[in-house]
Structure 1
C-alpha cells in the first residue's frame, strides 16, 4: 500500500520544502558565521512533505533533523500499518493489519550528500515511521506518534532483517542476532534490552527512567537501536500531540539530553541532545539531533 494515496509531483514538493526550510529560525549572528544548511529530497507526507536537513559549520555538524512542511500533520494515514512488513503469525492464511503487521507507515529519507560526505559522519540515512495507533509495549507507546530513526547502517542492511514469528514479527534467527548484547562500554547509561526486536528495523533499547515507564504518559523519548551487538540507529520518538504542542512552546523546552555510552564502537560525530521545534515563519515541525561531539 503506498504511504500517501495522493502523492504530489516531487519537483513541486522539493521546491516547497526548500522554501519552507529556508525560513527555519536563524542561529544568532555570531554562531551563524560560516553556517550553511543543506537539504535532502522530500517525500509526500500527509498534506505536505517530509525531508531531512543539516546545519553544518565547516566540517562539523551542528544540527541534523527531519522537517515536516506545513500541512504534513493533516490527512495522515489512519490504517495501523502500510502492509510492508507483515507475518501470518497464527497461520490462519490471512494477515491481521493490527496485530500481524509492524512498522506503521514507513518513509525512507536520504540524508543530504554534503552531510554524508563529512569526515567522521556515521549516519547513512533516516527512516520516518508514522504510527497512527502507536505500538507496544501496551500502555507505554500506544499513542499516535512518529518514530524518527537516524541509521548508522545502510537501508539495504536494515531491510534484510526478515519477518517471522519472534519478537515484533521478526525472523527468530534475526531476533537472536538483533538481541546480541552490546559490550558494556557501548551500552548507554540507564538503557536496557526488553527484547523489542522488530522486522526491517532491529532491536530497541529503552531508558527505563523515562517518564513513560512511570505512569506519567508518553510524550517523547529517545531510543537506541542495535543489531548484532552494534548500535545501528538513534531514534527520537515523539507523539503527534507533543509535536503539535511545539507550536507556541517555550524554546527553552525544545531540547532534551541524549544519554551517552562510555565509548562508541564507530568513531565519529554523535549528538548529546535531541530537539522538537515548530517554526512560526515556515510552518515546519522539526525533530533534530544536536550538540554534537566527535569521538575517536
Structure 2
C-alpha cells in the first residue's frame, strides 16, 4: 500500500509564495492546423472536416501558453494546452499557477476551466513526485466553483468508492484529503512512479464531494525536454467505470513536441458518455 500521508494535503497544495493567475478574454480564436493535428488522407476521403480553435495566448514562465480544441465535423476530438519552448528555459524557482482561457468551441467538451501548475521542486509524497514537473488540470467545473473548494478530509470520496466510479487501481491514500481550491487527487498505483521506473508522466483523476471534477496529466520537465522534434506520444487513459455527469471523456492523453517549437499536452480520443444511473 502506498503511504500517501493523510496529514499532508500539502501533496498538491496551492502555493502561497507565488501564484500568477493569467485570465484573459476569449475574443481571439484561430482556425488552424498545427503540426500533428492535420486532417489525415483517410479523413478527407470520408469528407471529414477538421478544425482546431485556439484560446488567447497567455504569458507563462518566460514563454507563452494557450488552449485549443480539435473538432471533426463539429464533434470534439481533443482538447489541449500548447506551450512555447521558452516555457522550459530559465524556469523560476517559485511555484506558479496559470489559468488559461478556452475558445468558445471548447465548451462542447464539458471542460470549463484549464489550469497549469508549475512545481519546481515537485510535491509530496517524497521520492515519488519530488522532481520538477507540470500539472495540467482540465476541470469540469467553473473557476468560481474551484475557488470554493475547501481543504481537509472530503468524505464524498468514500461515496465515489461505494458507487464504483473509478478504476480499482486509483486510490487517494489513507484518507481523502482535499487540496484547497483543487480537490481530492486520485493516483493510479500501477503507474511508473510507483515502480523502479520512477515518475515521468502519469494521469490523475480529481474529485470534489461525490463528483469527478477534473482530469490531470502530470509530466516532468525532464520528460518534455527529452522529446525530439515532431514526436507525439499517446498513452491510454484508465476509463471511469461509471459516468454520472454527461460529457466527453478521453480514451487517451497525448504529449507532442512539434517542429514549430511548441509542446502540447492534450486529452485525446474524446468519447461521449451520457448520464448513468
TM-score normalised to structure 2 length: 0.81
What is the CA-CA distance between 1:179 and the residue it aligns to? 3.9
Question: In structure 2, what is the Cα distance between the partners aligned to 1:63 and 1:179?
Answer: 28
Unpaired segments ≥5 residues, structure 1: 82-104, 163-169
Residue 95 of structure 1 corresponds to which residue in structure 2? none
Q: Which residue of 1 aligns with 2:115?
A: 127
Instruction: Tell me the SS of whatever aligns to 1:186.
Output: coil
State how far apart, in whole Å, the 1-side matches of 2:30 and 2:181 are. Answer: 30
Match of 1:153 in 2: 141
Conservation of the 8 A alpha-carbon contact between 1:196 and 1:205 = no
Q: Which residue does the alignment assign to 2:197?
A: 216
Among 41, 45, 54, the residue aligned to 1:39:
54
CA distance 1:186–1:69, shift in 2 (3 Å)? same
Alignment match, 2:249: 270
Question: What's the counterpart of residue 245 of structure 1?
Answer: 226
Q: Paired residue for 1:111?
A: 102
Secondary structure, aligned partner of 1:156? helix
Structure-2 residue corresponding to 1:142 = 130
Q: State the 1:18 CA deviation.
A: 6.2
User: Does the alignment pair 1:24 with 2:35?
Assistant: yes
- Which of the residues 186, 196, 199 maps onto 1:205? 186
The aligned counterpart of 2:65 is 50
CA RMSD of aligned residues (A): 2.5
State whether residues 51 and 71 of structure 2, in contact with CA within 8 Å, keep that contact through their aligned partners in structure 1: yes
Residue 217 (structure 2) pairs with residue 236 (structure 1): yes
CA distance in 1 between counterparts of 2:64 and 2:231 reads 25
Contact 1:203 1:227 in 2 (8 A): yes
- Residues 83-136 of structure 1, C-alpha deviation per residue, up to 9 Å, x if partnerless? xxxxxxxxxxxxxxxxxxxxxx100112211120x2xx3211111001000001
Superposition TM-score, scaled by structure 1 size = 0.76
Over residues 174-231 of structure 1, what are the superposed CA-to-partner deviations in whole Å (9 max), with x where a residue is unaligned?
x335644414331134111213521110000010011111222100000000010110
Unpaired runs of at least 5, structure 2: 1-17
Asked if 1 retains the 8 angstrom alpha-carbon contact of 2:154 and 2:184, the reply is no
Tell me the distance in 1 between the aligned counterparts of 2:183 and 2:238: 20
Give the CA deviation at 1:263. 1.6
